[in-house]
A = this chain, B = another copy of it.
């Protein structure tokens, strides 16, 4: 067992096994960028390819969609999306192993545990987990009507191999009271309304299949500052906002977290709730039914990329590619694309790289067990592909993609607009523009304030984005956008 604290440079040192698993991504975070030197994050090295969604600071970012996809199943830590509410806590190497977490609240045996003890005294496991920001694809909702959140594109999703003990082992030692129902978590980040905090059901925390972890390594390396250094929660299948970084406190309670950031964030308020109602009426924020935990089913197209052009020659095959995921450990069962607004569909091929870890059996890696052999759950993204002929694309105005998970829940055609613009998962539409010698493809939007995408274009032309024709002119009605 690895009882020392690995610096990023020692990342691969304890992987001495002979296995067929893909190599973990090479560490590529180089240095602190100039833009960060003037901010409280002056000590945080970052990858310059990341797209900043909220200016220089706080740091919220996603990778360019194609860069993310091309990086493969495991996202390099430097390309992993980041959602920071404030300044990144600075923790020196020498202090990491002494980092202390308090377990308190409705337990018979409250105690404190250091990272050193978490590594030495508890069984270490490795799990590949896809984290997704609940705001993934939010920009699309903001184009329809600006809500209260910033502009995520479709790359608010990333996958890593996380290492650490199961949360159930730590909480089990504290022995929760029978009337306890939630695990509240608090991070070390100092924010205007206190520390960031949220919660998850105690039953999930104790559930082996849910596999909630306290992680101290990402892809075999110690956590980077943006990802919770030295230790964080990882809640597979659940929105990233519940996987508290820089973990300091676990509080067992009978009611959900009363932390400001738990109550006023990560909710899908009903479609009828206007920004004014959300501002004036607290009841919408206090209704636990609108709190997001498990992810919903999602898919998006990566290739053709936005503004990609292909030559207008017929009978050439083209491979459309993208990603899909669902929540709660539920596998994506199928992905389908339509070139005629949903009248006819084509079935995509799907690859589930996660299953490579499952098939490994019981294997050691990074001082822990790859804990997939006994698990039926699916906590990672998968990749889909469909081959079409260019002549088919030539004959279409667009194509849409949708996924259905193994619970037979399916992405809806219709956008569920909501004040926080969360969990947006309507069909992902790519428009096909005919140019002289080329077909050019338009994704719905581009992240942050980057211009481009069919949604802003159609909106500017007066089209009704939510109509069954996506606001585009229909045949025989060339100059007038369809308002249904």
Contact = CB atoms under 8 A, between A and B. Distances in A.
A328 B328 CA distance: 10
Interface in A411-459: 411-414, 416, 422-423
Given A178-B374, A201-B376, A203-B209, A271 B345 contact: yes
A342 interface: yes
A303 to B, nearest CB: 22
Given A203-B376, A408-B292, A409-B409, A270 B334 contact: yes
A334 B412 CA distance: 16
A413 B416 contact: no
Contacts of A271: 336, 345
A122 interface: no
Given A289-B333, A407-B296, A346 B272 contact: yes
Residue of A178, A181, A374, A410 ringed by the most chain B CB atoms within 10 A: A410
A42 to B, nearest CB: 38
Contact of A407 (B295, B345, B346, B347): B295
Interface in A294-347: 294-297, 327-328, 330-331, 333-334, 336, 342, 345-347
B336 A296 contact: no
B408 A270 contact: no
A32 to B, nearest CB: 38
Contacts of A107: none
A268 B409 CA distance: 11
B294 A407 contact: yes
A468 B470 CA distance: 13
Copies in the complex: 2
Contacts of A406: 289, 291, 293-294
Interface string A387-419: 000000000000000001011111111101000
A207 interface: yes
A471 to B, nearest CB: 14
Contacts of A327: 407
Nearest to A335: B270
Contact of A272 (B201, B209, B347, B404): B347
Contact of A468 (B181, B374, B468): B468
A290 interface: yes
A346 B272 CA distance: 7
Contacts of A334: 270, 289-290
Interface string A374-393: 11110000000000000000
Contact of A297 (B330, B409, B416): B409
A468 to B, nearest CB: 4
A270 B336 contact: yes
A295 B407 CA distance: 6
Interface string A263-291: 00000101110000000000000000111
Contact of A347 (B207, B270, B375): B270
Contact of A404 (B295, B411, B416, B468): B416
Nearest to A425: B408
A327 B292 CA distance: 17
B328 A407 contact: yes
A417 to B, nearest CB: 10
A484 B468 CA distance: 10
Contacts of A408: 268, 292, 294, 296, 422-423
Contacts of A468: 468, 484
**In the complex, the 5 A-B pairs of residues with the closest C-beta atoms, listed nearest first:** A409-B409, A289-B333, A294-B407, A296-B408, A468-B468
20 contacts: A181-B376, A203-B374, A207-B207, A207-B209, A268-B404, A270-B345, A272-B346, A289-B333, A289-B334, A289-B406, A290-B333, A290-B334, A291-B406, A292-B408, A293-B407, A294-B407, A297-B409, A328-B328, A409-B409, A413-B413
